[in-house]
Amino acid sequence: MISCGKEAKKSSRIQQNVSPLFNSQVLTVKVFYEEDAQPYTDNILTVKIWDLLQINLDALFKGRTKRPQVIIPKTLPEMTKTISFHRDLWTVEDVLNISKTYPEVKKTGTETFKIFFVKGYSKESPTIIGFHINDSNIMVIFKDVIKNSGNGNHISKYLEQATLVHEMGHALGLVNNGLPMVTPHHDQAHGAHCLRQDCVMYYSNEGASSMMSFAKDALAKGSLVMFEEQCLSDARNYKN
Ligand SMILES: [Zn+2]
Ligand SMILES: [Zn+2]
């Protein structure tokens, strides 16, 4: 199930421009949700669930001399409820269109990511959990796919966070998607993905069943950081 790094323009391979992201003082994640498609915001075992995304994004910048402060909403009141979109199937253009209706005020030194939780499915396949739109800071999560994977249990909550980590990984230039590699680990046959199966950036982790088994394994191991070392190393060693 290869659907990440969707390109609005299919003819060209547009990569993320990661320099402004890695140079910013603040990276802000904004979350928008449609009614009945809201993210899980309760705890998973002893972990505050949105701390998983925080821990993983912070891990990418660990050890860098210049580290952006990553600001992530952790509770529903910190997120924005949208209008109802009444859409069953979504294309890249549809997501870009709704994103335009929620514009960001540009602040110096701050880069903003927008994540939309919507009802309905990707037009490409009903098993796609979400995608990042290349050359943008925009992502979409198909909440119905997560709900169908076992509504509300620990694994589906972890699955949701793992999907966010995967899509934010693309938005930050992984794998070889604007962020140069320290060691080769790019699964070229499958887009901007990692060759390692135990890494959250592995290609099939974008589909529900594979991500589900990744989530089960990770929960069993008690892992909080979902990137393996090659992906971490690319981010930590990036030269602006
Ligand atoms: Zn992907
Ligand atoms: Zn990796």
pLDDT of residue 233: 98
Residue-wise pLDDT for 98-157, tens only, equals: 999 999 888 999 999 999 999 999 999 999 999 999 999 999 999 999 998 876 777 888
Are 232 and 59 a contacting pair, CB within 8 Å?
A: yes
pLDDT of residue 30: 98
Are 110 and 29 a contacting pair, CB within 8 Å?
A: no
Torsion of CA 210, 212, 214, 220, to 10 degrees: -150
Read off the pLDDT band of 4 (50, 70, 90).
low
Is the pLDDT score of 217 beyond 90? Answer: no
Beta 80-81 vs 26-33: how paired, if at all?
A: parallel
Cα of 133 to ligand 2 centre, how many Å? 19
The 3-state DSSP class for residue 139 equals: strand
Least distant ligand from the CA of 205: 1
pLDDT of residue 10: 43
Is the pLDDT score of 9 beyond 60? Answer: no
Distance CA 141, CA 120 (A): 10
Q: What is the token pair recorded at 58? A: 């912070």
The 3-state DSSP class for residue 214 equals: helix
Cα of 113 to ligand 2 centre, how many Å? 21
Q: Which residues surround ligand 2, an ion (CB under 5 A)?
A: 194, 196, 199, 201, 228, 231
Least distant ligand from the CA of 56: 2
Is the pLDDT score of 87 beyond 60? Answer: yes
User: What's the mean pLDDT when you consider all of the chain?
Assistant: 90
- Per the rule left: phi > 0, alpha: psi between -120 and 50, beta: everything else, 22 is alpha
Torsion of CA 100, 101, 107, 110, to 10 degrees: -60
Is the pLDDT score of 6 beyond 60? Answer: no
Are 194 and 228 a contacting pair, CB within 8 Å?
A: yes
Torsion of CA 3, 170, 10, 135, to 10 degrees: 150
pLDDT of residue 20: 95
Read off the pLDDT band of 232 (50, 70, 90).
very high
Distance CA 236, CA 231 (A): 9
Eight-class DSSP state of 40 = P
pLDDT of residue 213: 84
Eight-class DSSP state of 169 = H
Cα of 99 to ligand 1 centre, how many Å? 20
Eight-class DSSP state of 72 = -
Least distant ligand from the CA of 226: 2
Instruction: Give the residue-averaged pLDDT of 206-223.
Output: 81
Supply the pTM of this predicted model. Answer: 0.92
Residue-wise pLDDT for 47-65, tens only, equals: 688 999 999 999 999 999 9
Distance CA 40, CA 31 (A): 12
Higher model confidence: residue 5 or residue 226? 226
Read off the pLDDT band of 45 (50, 70, 90).
low
Cα of 50 to ligand 2 centre, how many Å? 21
